Amino acid sequence: MHMTTTQQSHWDVIIIGAGLAGLLAAGRTAKAGLRTLVLERATQLGGRAASPQLHGIPVNPGARAISTSAIGLLQEEGIEVTGGSPKPSVQFVTGMPGESLQQLPLMQVFLGKWATWSEKMQLVRFLIRSRQVELTGLQTVSIERYLADTLPSPRIRRIVLSLIRLATYCDAPAQMSAKAALTQLREKVVYVNGGWASLVKSLKQQAIAAGAVIRNESAVAKIQGEAPELRIVLKDGTVFYAANVLSTIGPKPWLKLLDPPLAEGVASRYDNLVPVYAACLDLIMKRLPKPNKTFAIGVDQPWYFANHSAVSTFSEHPEQEIIHVMKYLPPGLSPSIGDDQQELEAFLDEIQPGWQDHVLERRFLPRMLVSHAVSEPSPDDRKPGPVITARPGLYVAGDWVGENMLVKASLVSAREAATAIIARHGSTNHKTRNGDRAIPC
Ligand SMILES: Cc1cc2nc3c(=O)[nH]c(=O)nc-3n(C[C@H](O)[C@H](O)[C@H](O)COP(=O)(O)OP(=O)(O)OC[C@H]3O[C@@H](n4cnc5c(N)ncnc54)[C@H](O)[C@@H]3O)c2cc1C
């Protein structure tokens, strides 16, 4: 039997990046008998799904909620996902930074005096219609335009926009297609037990069991040539060859690796994608001053608060609370780090007064890359597909590829890329050189 080792230079497929996309694709290509090498720049695997420790607990860097349709994709790979869904008892918080803020429980919107009867009816009709409306055709319209046309009341629009921010992780209603936003609004979500690191662990185990080889601390510096053999050069000068290369890194850094570069007209499609960022405050608390307040979102400001430990398990100390506070940053704008942190703290003062006295450990992450691309309105699907026709043998996967959003886009595109690679491998008869399956070293 033939052994694959991290020193071997020729592979059927090389995957750049060991995030969820790279690990899922590696499991698939390795299971199909392709000699698969995964190259990861970092020491830890998982990319944006890694859950670094906070107070000794693996905590997602920024709030993570996986959609049930993304869970379905993982289950199809044989991955079990456990966790809890947030309760719908949301507090809406109105007001601007520096002003006095006001809390409005969901039931008050429907039953209290905050909205008129006609406004309440607008909201009820919208919530029903948003689940039923035919989405085809809505990819050309922004969600801002769609709401302006369907919701006459500005404050009901603001309530709905806060729900759309929550569902899409993005504060760019003019730049997001109504189809993408409403699709996302229909999704149910789960906070995963043990954080997303548990997903990374399962996908990694599966890829290795199928025979993929994973090499960490292996930053790719160049992707050279094209079919029948691409050449991968690492930062340290090591060279690998493969008939198929799948990149799961972001569009802009990926373009920089290509040698020769893609023609300008083709490259601009990837280069013009607009990334989405968030400022995140993660906290481990001894206890919460207001334990019943588990979930709040800003109406006039793009703020988020949730107690993830209220419905899922992260540590052996269930009495400790895991809190995520977040600000969705407008795409393209530099964050004002000090102001964002103060703003989130003031928001937390409103939801959990006296919270500072109960903090065990905290972490502020001013500019987290949530997604490489906003789903923009466009007549043709503006987000690219996984097969790079201009460079045979080259594929891409990630949250900027295909018609889905966030991690679902990463998982779907990884699966599609793996399927295309397996099909191409079969048709070009690039069989493993001695017919053996790769085995882990
Ligand atoms: C704060 C925050 C909140 C989020 N919340 C949600 C949510 O609730 N729901 C949801 O669905 N999604 C959410 N996301 C998005 C989700 O985390 C990502 O879509 C998903 O993890 C992307 O996985 P990926 O494998 O495509 O990319 P990545 O995880 O980015 O993996 C790419 C990998 O490539 C590696 N790499 C980069 N360059 C090189 C190189 N030159 N050579 C070798 N390796 C390289 C990186 O180190 C990384 O490991 C959130 C993201 C953030 C940051």
Instruction: Tell me, yes or no, whether 213 lies in a domain.
Output: yes
CB 386 within 8 A of CB 254: no
Per-residue confidence (pLDDT) for residue 5, from 0 to 100: 66
The answer to whether 224 and 231 are in contact (CB under 8 A) is: yes
Same domain for 239 and 313, yes or no, is: no
User: Residue 3: inside a domain, yes or no?
Assistant: no
Of residues 283, 77, 353, 64, the one with CA closest to residue 192: 64
For residues 187 and 281, membership in a common domain is answered with yes
CA-atom Rg of the chain in angstroms: 23
Residue 316, domain CATH: 3.90.660.10
The reply to whether 266 falls in a domain is: yes
For 111, counting Cβ atoms within 10 Å of its Cβ (0-12 exposed, 13-18 middle, 19+ buried), the class is exposed
Same domain, 91 and 171: yes
How many folded domains does the chain comprise? 2
Residue 214 sits in a domain of what CATH number?
3.50.50.60
Q: Residue 176's pLDDT is what?
A: 95
How do the residues of the chain divide into helix, strand and coil, expressed in percent and rounded to 5?
Answer: 35, 25, 40
Q: Which atom of ligand 1 is nearest to the CA of 65?
A: 8
Let me know if residue 259 belongs to a domain: yes
Q: Are strands 66-67 and 189-192 parallel, antiparallel or unpaired?
A: antiparallel
**What is this structure's pTM?**
0.94
Residue 49 near ligand 1, beta carbon < 6 Å:
yes
Ligand 1 pocket member 143 (CB < 6 A) = no
Looking at the structure, do residues 212 and 167 belong to the same domain, yes or no?
A: no
Tokens 């003031």 appear where?
Answer: 346
Residue 2 lies in a domain: no
Which pLDDT belongs to residue 414? 98
Record the tokens describing residue 173, joined without a space: 């209603």
Give domain status of residue 1, yes or no.
Answer: no
Residue 5 lies in a domain: no
Any ligand 1 atom below 6 A from CB of 36: no
Whether residues 181 and 306 share a domain: the answer is yes
Determine the pLDDT at residue 88.
79
Q: Is the CB of 248 within 6 Å of ligand 1?
A: yes
Asked whether residue 366 falls in the same domain as residue 401, the answer is no
Give the number of the atom of ligand 1 that is nearest the alpha carbon of residue 410.
Answer: 26
Query: What stretches in the chain show pLDDT beneath 50?
Result: 1-3, 430-441
Residue 120 belongs to domain spanning: 66-73+82-192+274-371
Q: Is 60 part of a structural domain of the chain? A: no
